[in-house]
Amino acid sequence: MNTSCLYFVCDLTSTELDAFIGILLAGGVSHNNMQDSSVLWRSDALPIFRAAMSYKRFLALSRYIRFDDGRTREFRQRSDKAAPIRDIWNFLNENLAKNYEPHETITVDEQLFPYRGKTKFTQFIPSKPAKYGIKIWWAYDSKTKYPLEGKLYTGRGEGEERESNQGQNVLLQLANRYSNTGRTLVADNFFTTLEGTKRLAGIGLAFVGTVRSNKRFLPEEMKKNSSRPLLSSLFGFHENLVSVCSYVPKKNKAVNLLSTVHYSKDCRGEAMKPEAILLYNSNKAGVDCMDQMVTHFTSKRPTRRWTYAFFATC
């Protein structure tokens, strides 16, 4: 691991750093991450902790580890609230991209890293199980669920106005790396706009995504209506480039999608779902899978320092 992103007051060898990270991982895999450190080094505990390093050395490294240069932090935080973790976060993204070539479909979604401590950009999302934490937008391989790139959301800066079309902007930023590769991006209604879909097509990328019912470009006929038959579908086409489908999964409800992949009115299965919905459903579970793994095997230690908690989990 590149130790240039880590800062210690005490001397540290690369072997010790590997052992330190190994202890964090072992604590997560064995579900001992929330145990007091002294318990892990007892004679009746797992021997891997005692074999890796001494208890006092682990406490010293946990206390002194930092992820940026404290001498310049105050200056950098004026323009970047995530300055204390930014170097190692960029290093993570570089390695994720360098060591993997994604399949033909990439999904964009949001993740909430659970954390209730003090940060300058903690988010509250009631629909998420953790509700409070650090929001990350991810692009990941739809087939293997491998994370390709993550963007930390640090909120608005002081005096800044609310960003318009935020979801569209995030989608285009994460998609830029894959321009002119012919891949398909899948995203939910936070990221989906007609303009963004057309701009993706302009850089050689296809798109499939759900649409909020309040979007102006969506025809009234495609919005929820109690008169629409159950399991029925409506289709529309825009400039011979973007297709819109509207499906009724239950009475008085409609699911709408934009697609630059599907141009037919074919529906499949007993539920008679349009092909765009089938593709969306089969490629949308990556962040849920990541959340499940992070929750079940979390390496996060009890700490008040959000940077250490974030490092231990990611």
pLDDT tens per residue, range 30-75? 888 888 899 999 999 999 999 999 999 999 998 888 888 888 888 9
pLDDT at 269: 87
Q: What average pLDDT does the chain have?
A: 88
φ, ψ at 300 (rounded to 5°)? -65, 130
> pLDDT by residue (tens digit) across 152-183?
999 876 667 777 889 999 999 999 999 999 99
pLDDT grade, residue 298 (50/70/90)? Answer: confident
pLDDT at 232: 92
pLDDT at 304: 83
pLDDT at 8: 57
pLDDT at 163: 77
Instruction: Summarize the confidence of residues 284-288 as an average pLDDT.
Output: 72
pLDDT grade, residue 239 (50/70/90)? Answer: confident
In this prediction the pTM is: 0.85
Instruction: Summarize the confidence of residues 286-294 as an average pLDDT.
Output: 71
> pLDDT by residue (tens digit) across 255-264?
999 999 998 8
CB 275 within 8 A of CB 262: yes
- Domain ranges in the chain? 3-77+297-313, 103-156+163-282
pLDDT at 246: 94
First-to-final CA distance of the chain: 14
Instruction: Summarize the confidence of residues 83-108 as an average pLDDT.
Output: 93
Number of neighbouring beta carbons within 10 Å of residue 226: 7
pLDDT at 139: 94
pLDDT at 167: 92
> Ranked by mean pLDDT, which of 25-29, 68-72, 207-211 comes out on top?
207-211
2 has pLDDT over 70: no
More confident residue, 313 or 200: 200
5 has pLDDT over 70: no
Instruction: Tell me the CB-side half-sphere exposure of residue 190, using CA atoms within 13 A.
Output: 10
